[in-house]
Amino acid sequence: MKLTEEQLRIVNHSGGHARVSAVAGSGKTTTMVARIGHLLRQGVAAEQLLVLMFNKSARDSFADAMSKNLAALGCRLPEVRTFHSLGLRLVTSFTKRGVLPAFRLVTEEYILERLARQVVSEMYREKHENEGWPSGEDLEEFITFLDRVKATSAGVDRVFASLALPARYDYFVPAYDLFEKVRREQKIRFYADLIHEPLMAMRADKELAAWVADRVEHIIVDEYQDINEAQQQLLQLLAGRRGKVMVVGDVDQCIYEWRGAQPEYITTRFQQDFPNPANYLLSFTFRYGHQLSLAANYLIANNKKRDRKFCISHESTPNTQISCLPEPDKLRLTFKEKEKHPVLAVLADWREQGRTLGEAAVLVRLFAQSVPVELALLEAGIPYRLEGNNQVFDCPEVLALTGYLQLVQGILADDDLPTRTTTLVAMLSQPHMGLKREEMEKLARAIAENPALAPQLLATWGGNE
């Protein structure tokens, strides 16, 4: 792919820090890989380069693109890490130095949820003089609160005050303290601790911070709009006085504010923490045509905390047509068809115009929103493919609900043994019993083989846990 002038300016950047504001589909990965290739050709050693991503999928995708496009250089390529894998490396090093305790990393979400439920229930009942129990919403709010505290170095009281949570959640502060006390007693750490613990250790020990700083010459951060306070401070410590930081992101895609990301990090904060950065734009998209670019610009202009950039479709991008579809009651449909899901009405109109089902794609913000669409398509006998998730009757929530309905009707035992076992696994995890996956599967098989013993088996497994 031939690079644009905008991309070439970023690839050939020289000097200090740099901030790249990029529109969606602007070839960020291509540009960053080319930038790395340029630095390697200039004689920068691979170990002097660090590339940071926000999740494993992005890391793997970038590493693959780098391997394919830079293989001809015949040299070692730089590390590509997620923030959490970098945090794990720091935790391991700090543990060897005796700075952090040798706790076990726990990756199972149900263990975190179980511990959170324990402390929330205890603090809630203490506040309410042993009256009532916290709701599922209370538990979810507390787990989010845990993440927000560990996404910063501000401390639990300041975070609680800054979030302006309802007064009924004032027990979250002592619940957090109890959570941390129990976590340390159990000698475990969770994903959020991988960044929070080493950050707090370095903030408390200048010599430790100096030992970590200035180890690399160049740091590249992708999807920078997703960064939170703890990650920002970690980035500062890593760069030290020597590291040149280049960040790439799109403030209009800042969608993780619930876990600490803020638009200000890319619009104003970066230049405060990394002075005098060069500013670059990637304004051409290769993903869609001019009509959609103009529509996108019109919509995102309503974002209040954004930088000034304008999305332009590159001349090589095919045109994207936008059609304003009429509402179902304005289509030429029978009364019975109008009663069905709007997607069916749209598809019926398309087919009447000679268009094929293969041209259609339905986008949903959450997979839960795909359920009514899937049910409508199944009822209409229209084939479909769901990308990235189980189809409606295979997802655990629906499978569990189906199992409970079968149980009420007394027909759950009518299924064959494998089907019955799969259904029971879903039922035992919705709501979660707090058992390990292998234990849950053993329990499900035992109940499936002898349903009459279900009460005794559940009591036995519950007692063991």
* Structure confidence by residue, pLDDT tens digits, 58-115: 999 999 999 999 999 999 999 999 999 999 999 999 999 999 999 999 998 889 999 9
**Is the pLDDT reported for residue 158 higher than 50?**
yes
| pLDDT confidence bin for 392, thresholds 50/70/90 | confident
* Alpha helices (runs of H) in 151-256, residue ranges in sequence order: 156-163, 172-185, 193-204, 206-212, 229-239
Q: Which two tokens stand for residue 389?
A: 């998730």
**According to the model, what pLDDT value does residue 308 have?**
83
Q: Averaged over 21-38, what is the pLDDT? A: 95
Q: Averaged over 418-442, what is the pLDDT? A: 84
Could you tell me the strand order of the sheet in which 18-22 lies?
79-82, 49-53, 218-221, 244-249, 18-22, 278-282
**Is the pLDDT reported for residue 164 higher than 70?**
yes
Residues in the chain: 465
Q: Which two tokens stand for residue 37?
A: 């290739």
Gap between the Cα atoms of 212 and 237, Å rounded: 7
**Is the pLDDT reported for residue 116 higher than 90?**
yes
**According to the model, what pLDDT value does residue 2 have?**
87
| pLDDT confidence bin for 326, thresholds 50/70/90 | low
Token pair 């089907």: residue = 419
Q: What region does 255 belong to: left with phi over 0, alpha with psi -120 to 50, or beta? A: alpha
How many other CB atoms are found less than 10 A from the CB of residue 148? 22
How many other CB atoms are found less than 10 A from the CB of residue 341? 17
The letter for the amino acid at 159 is: V
Gap between the Cα atoms of 385 and 228, Å rounded: 35
Q: What are phi and psi of 384, to 5 degrees?
A: -150, 165
Task: Write out 90-148 in H/E/C secondary structure.
Answer: HHHHHHHCCCCCCCEECCCHHHHHHHHHHHHHHHHHHHCCCCCCCCHHHHHHHHHHHHH
Token pair 């999740």: residue = 55
**According to the model, what pLDDT value does residue 387 have?**
87
Q: How far is CA 195 from CA 129, 147, 174, 262, 385, in A?
A: 36, 11, 22, 18, 38
Question: Which pLDDT tens digit goes with each residue over 194-230?
Answer: 999 999 999 999 999 999 999 999 999 999 999 999 9
Contact 395, 423 (CB under 8 A): no
Q: What are phi and psi of 411, to 5 degrees?
A: -120, 5
Q: How far is CA 364 from CA 78, 253, 373, 374, 438, in A?
A: 37, 17, 10, 11, 33
Taking the mean position of all CA atoms in its chain, how far away is CA 347?
32
Contact 137, 145 (CB under 8 A): no
**Is the pLDDT reported for residue 439 higher than 60?**
yes
**Is the pLDDT reported for residue 125 higher than 60?**
yes
| pLDDT confidence bin for 465, thresholds 50/70/90 | very low
The three-point CA angle 337-338-342 to 5° equals 100
Q: Which two tokens stand for residue 362?
A: 């339905």
Q: Averaged over 418-446, what is the pLDDT? A: 85
| pLDDT confidence bin for 332, thresholds 50/70/90 | low
Token pair 């602007």: residue = 26
**Is the pLDDT reported for residue 329 higher than 70?**
no
Is the domain 5-87+196-313 a CATH 1.20.1280.50 member?
A: no
Gap between the Cα atoms of 22 and 249, Å rounded: 6
Question: Which pLDDT tens digit goes with each residue over 134-148?
Answer: 888 899 999 999 999
Question: Which pLDDT tens digit goes with each residue over 42-60?
Answer: 999 999 999 999 989 999 9
Q: What are phi and psi of 32, to 5 degrees?
A: -65, -40
**According to the model, what pLDDT value does residue 335 have?**
56
Q: Which of 81-90, 296-305, 320-329, 334-343 is predicted most confidently? A: 81-90
The letter for the amino acid at 354 is: G
3-state SS assignment for residue 50: strand
Percentage of the chain modeled with pLDDT above 90: 61
| Nearest CA among 161, 137, 135 for reference residue 149 | 161
Q: What are phi and psi of 364, to 5 degrees?
A: -130, 150
Q: Averaged over 434-446, what is the pLDDT? A: 84
Percentage of the chain modeled with pLDDT above 70: 95
Taking the mean position of all CA atoms in its chain, how far away is CA 124?
29
Gap between the Cα atoms of 405 and 458, Å rounded: 19
What is the pLDDT of the chain when averaged over all its residues? 90
Least confident of 113-122, 170-179, 255-264, 282-291: 255-264
Q: Which two tokens stand for residue 114?
A: 């179980």
| Nearest CA among 260, 264, 284, 116 for reference residue 199 | 260
| Nearest CA among 399, 285, 242, 299 for reference residue 22 | 285
Q: Averaged over 309-331, what is the pLDDT? A: 77
Token pair 């990235």: residue = 388
**According to the model, what pLDDT value does residue 320 have?**
83
The three-point CA angle 295-299-305 to 5° equals 140
Gap between the Cα atoms of 354 and 256, Å rounded: 41
| pLDDT confidence bin for 464, thresholds 50/70/90 | very low
Gap between the Cα atoms of 163 and 173, Å rounded: 12
Question: Which pLDDT tens digit goes with each residue over 234-283?
Answer: 999 999 999 999 999 999 998 888 888 899 999 999 999 999 999 999 99
